[in-house]
Amino acid sequence: MNIKNLILLTLIALLSSCDTSTDKKNAKIDTFDKVFIDSLVPMADKNYSVFYAKIKGNSNDSIRLNISSDKTEDEKFDYYFIGDFEKEIRMDYYGESKKYIKLDPYKATDGKLELDYQL
């Protein structure tokens, strides 16, 4: 096997191992001038039992995180954060629909956070 084939096989293995998951994501937010909206899509061949989110960071005022199963927001799934924070959120989830994540800067104008979320 020559070196070109070895490099090609290594490159193919590396690219095929890249995560293109639709049911697990990560976001880093350091500008609070717009609303962040994303969704998680369940994979047909997987079984689910929980939605999990972890938010960690800081803000100079209140921010709002909403988690819902459709594009309309349900206030009972609003979470508010201010100052330095780290919180894990777990909810029952059985793959019934997409999960929408909306992070609204609300009253905050400055801060930095990391959001991990998955089905």
Residue 4 CA, distance from chain mean position = 38
The number of C-alpha atoms within 13 Å of 65 and in the hemisphere containing its C-beta is 24
pLDDT in tens, 64-109: 999 988 766 667 789 999 999 999 999 998 888 899 999 999 999 9
Give the mean pLDDT of the chain: 85
* pLDDT at res. 3: 73
Whether 17 shows a pLDDT value over 50: the answer reads no
pLDDT over threshold 90, residue 114? yes
What is d(CA 59, CA 108) in angstroms, rounded to the nearest whole number?
6
> 57-61, 68-72, 114-118 — which is least confidently predicted?
68-72
- pTM of the predicted structure, to 2 decimals: 0.76
Are the beta carbons of 70 and 5 closer than 8 angstroms?
A: no
Determine what percent of the chain falls in helix, strand and coil, rounding each to the nearest 5. Answer: 15, 50, 35
pLDDT tens per residue, range 41-55: 998 888 899 999 999
